[in-house]
């Protein structure tokens, strides 16, 4: 459990969230809001902020133009992190699991009467970080919902949730915005055309993630990692030693982020090879080492992409895999693609 940090501003709605906001707002005003919502989509689309803004709207005494006013007592309590009818549930440490003890403590919150006489909200993210015991504990709350309690579950990977949990929630999907909308927003954020296009491609179309990937420090990590993969493809490095370099101090890498970069590069390789076109210089360097010609030669690449997808799912599930062994396995498989 954790509270909203002190003096947290109410998040603003992002341009690609209008449809979801209007639908939920209409349901809320009509008194038809489901007791559990599952907000899902890839990372970097602002789902958590959306859930916070919606919770502020539900708690607000006097909404204005379909959003929380930001000036009433309930909004001030929410912003100060002390609203008695709002509970945030998240892992105790970044990347950690949501534990069964955290979910069981929900019982006290959902069973008591509202502190302000309105709805009560449980904000829970990432939902897929629950282990099986925690998920079963949450399921009990969803099966016997308390009056006026709304669960806001946020997930980057809803497939990692129990089907029984998904079936008891109204799904609110957040697809990536159009490239035009995303680039327009990134330009307003301050990214220049070339940097915005590159970052958005690496982010899989997610604008908020693109802003992180465009940061100089992140770009430096990305370039070093791509250099490592090129060296492996050229036979100039050993997979086990390479994996070790990314798991040692002074700064162990964010493995989920590295794998996401890897996925984008593999996807670019497949796209360039299948379309017989040109691409990024470094991607072309990899393709020059990749054996075979024609569509049939891509089968091993697609197989490796599937391994990357499964690796990211494992990291997101809270199963806590051995990261060093996982990276070693992926790098060994990568090296064999170019043998």
Question: Which domains, ranges and CATH numbers included, belong to the chain?
Answer: 15-173 (3.40.50.300), 215-337 (1.20.272)
**How high is the pLDDT of residue 4?**
44
pTM of the entire predicted model:
0.82
User: pLDDT tens string for the chain (339 positions)?
Assistant: 444 445 678 999 999 999 999 999 999 999 999 999 999 999 999 999 999 999 999 999 999 999 999 999 999 999 999 999 999 999 988 778 899 999 998 888 988 888 887 899 999 999 988 989 999 999 999 988 888 899 999 999 898 899 999 999 999 999 999 999 999 999 999 999 888 998 998 888 999 999 998 999 888 888 899 999 999 999 878 999 999 888 765 556 788 889 988 998 898 888 888 876 666 788 888 888 888 776 667 899 999 999 998 888 777 665 667 888 999 999 999 999 998
Q: What's the rounded Cα separation, in Å, for the pair 60 and 54?
A: 10
| pLDDT of 211 | 95
In the prediction, which pLDDT does 317 show? 63
């Amino acid at each position: 459990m954790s509270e909203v940090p002190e003096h947290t501003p109410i998040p603003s709605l992002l341009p690609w969230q209008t449809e979801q906001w209007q639908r939920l707002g209409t349901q809320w005003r009509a008194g038809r809001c489901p007791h559990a919502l599952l907000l899902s989509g890839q990372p970097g689309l602002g789902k958590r902020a959306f859930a916070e803004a919606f919770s502020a709207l539900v708690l607000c005494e006097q909404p204005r133009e379909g959003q929380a006013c930001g000036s009433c007592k309930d909004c001030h309590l929410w912003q100060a992190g002390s609203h008695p009818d709002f509970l945030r549930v998240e892992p105790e440490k970044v990347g950690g699991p949501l534990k069964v003890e955290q979910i069981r403590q929900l019982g006290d919150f959902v069973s008591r009467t509202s502190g302000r006489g309105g709805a009560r909200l449980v904000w829970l993210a990432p939902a897929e970080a629950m282990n099986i015991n925690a998920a079963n504990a949450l399921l009990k709350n969803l099966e016997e919902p308390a009056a006026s309690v709304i669960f806001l579950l946020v997930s980057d990977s809803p497939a990692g949730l129990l089907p029984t949990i998904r079936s008891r929630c109204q799904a609110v999907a957040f697809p990536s915005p159009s490239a035009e909308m995303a680039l327009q927003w990134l330009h307003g954020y301050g990214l220049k055309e070339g940097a915005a296009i590159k970052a958005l491609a690496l982010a899989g179309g997610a604008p908020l993630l693109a802003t992180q990937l465009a940061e100089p420090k992140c770009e430096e990590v990305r370039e070093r990692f791509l250099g490592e993969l090129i060296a492996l493809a050229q036979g100039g490095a050993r997979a086990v030693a390479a994996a070790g370099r990314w798991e040692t101090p002074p700064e162990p890498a964010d493995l989920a982020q590295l794998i996401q970069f890897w996925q984008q590069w593999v996807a670019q390789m497949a796209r360039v090879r299948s379309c017989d076109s040109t691409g990024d210089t470094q991607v072309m360097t990899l393709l020059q080492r990749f054996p075979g010609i024609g569509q049939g030669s891509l089968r091993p690449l697609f197989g490796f992409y599937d391994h990357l997808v499964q690796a990211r799912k494992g990291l997101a599930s809270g199963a806590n895999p051995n990261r060093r062994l996982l990276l070693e396995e992926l790098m060994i498989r990568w090296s064999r693609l170019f043998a």
